Amino acid sequence: MPNNNSIATPASLQEFLAHSDSMYRASLDTIPLFDSNQTQHWNTQQKQHFAAIFYHLRGHFINFMWYLANFSSNEQMKQVVLNNIHEEIGIGTRFSHELLYERFATECQVNIHEEMLSEAFYLPFAREFNKKHLQWLTCHSEEERIAAFAAYERLDNLDYPLLVNLAKSLHISQQGMAFFNVHVHVTHFDSVLDLLFPIWETDQSKVKNAFEFIYTHQRQMWSNLSDAIFSVARSEAVVA
């Protein structure tokens, strides 16, 4: 992960991040969602379920950022969120991430405009996933919230290489793959490193606890999503 920050990352923080990343990656190895030998056999209904459910799992992060920025006294943190939103809505690039996701969803026969209104695939586990993010933010200090944001941004570089392989296994076109490919190369985590350093130097437990929550919560979400998609095939088999 590139780091162009003027301040060198403390060795102890580097070690913590490397260990956290390694443990997180290993925890995903047993989730069928990230096994292309299994996902390549998904039927149309499973692809639809994935595109529609994942739309809600990624799309509601705006609420996380909205809370973080509005209840922050740190101007740099506010600017980081604004820069993130600028990128999300496509300023300077023409294509917002939402438009890129629409390409993918359309190939999976999902209309995200309809899903945005109906929330037909906003399953209970997905609602709980998003709700618990906000609950955690409301119960912790601003420094802990910044650390949680940093952890969530770091996950892009860990999750999206796996999601690229997943999308490839579904035989998605290059145009439809753009959403996933873009996220492999994002450097959002780097933009918040300067804010993370003083927190780490003052109280490492705040960073460690925030990362533990975000990484564990994310891992559970992937497991739940995997179960939801593969249960579609099992239910079809029972009906047949």
pLDDT digits (tens, 9 = 90+) for 55-89: 999 999 999 999 999 999 999 999 999 999 998 89
pLDDT digits (tens, 9 = 90+) for 176-229: 999 999 998 877 788 899 999 999 999 999 999 999 999 999 999 999 999 999
- What percentage of residues in the chain have a pLDDT greater than 90? 84
For 72-87, the DSSP string reads ---HHHHHHHHHHHHH
Contacts for 84 with CB less than 8 Å, ≥ 6 apart: 65, 153, 188, 191
Q: What is the value of pTM for the model shown?
A: 0.92
Q: Does the pLDDT at position 236 exceed 80? A: no
Give the residue extent of every domain in the chain: 11-17+42-239
For 5-65, the DSSP string reads -SSPPPHHHHHHHHHHHHHHHHHHTT-GGG-HHHHTT--HHHHHHHHHHHHHHHHTHHHHH
d(CA 83, CA 215) in angstroms, rounded, equals 23
Asked whether 84 and 188 are in contact (CB, 8 A), the reply is: yes
Domain 11-17+42-239 carries which CATH code?
1.20.910.10
Supply the mean pLDDT for the chain.
93
pLDDT band (50, 70, 90) for residue 17: very high
